[in-house]
Amino acid sequence: VCTPSFWLGLMLMLLFAVKLDLLPTTGRGGWENLVLPAVTLGAGAAAIIARVTRSSMLEVLGTDYIRTAHAKGLTERAVVLRHAVKNALIPVITVIGLEFGYLLAGAVVTETVFAYPLVNLVVDVLYASFDPRISYE
């Protein structure tokens, strides 16, 4: 959660691309080129979402309607899937929405580390659309 994305990206490159030679460090080829940037971007968000999901589920599982569902004879699986998850997802969806902005901001740093020109390409195209003096051939 506290690890900067540029440092995590560099460490993942060192381990999986340099030491183990499993994945490419840069490029825009197949899915192999997206693994390290995706893990770099998603690691921090996944930790926060997992923590909120766990605490929300623990809170919901202690409520009266869950106790009532157990008393009605529903299986543990039915109670969790039908009643608990549905009500526990509300805070999780909120956190996912907030994390989306952080993912967009982190994408700029991550694409710089992995030399993946997605955001910079979009910015360049926007330059041309807003300024008529700029054109691309």
pLDDT mean by block of 10 residues, the chain; 137 residues: 81 93 80 85 89 96 95 95 92 91 78 72 78 76
Asked if residue 136 belongs to a domain, the reply is: no
CB 123 within 8 A of CB 33: no
Q: In this predicted model, what pLDDT tens digit does every residue of 11-36 receive, in sequence order?
A: 999 999 999 989 888 777 778 888 88
Asked if residue 94 belongs to a domain, the reply is: yes
Structure tokens given for 119: 């955001």
Rounded CA-CA distance 110/94 in Å is 24
Asked if residue 137 belongs to a domain, the reply is: no
Look up the domain containing 60 and give its range. Answer: 5-128
> What is the pLDDT at residue 1?
56
Q: In this predicted model, what pLDDT tens digit does every residue of 77-91 receive, in sequence order?
A: 999 999 999 899 999
The amino acid occupying position 34 is L
Structure tokens given for 118: 């997605």
> What is the pLDDT at residue 35?
87
Q: How many domains does the chain have?
A: 1
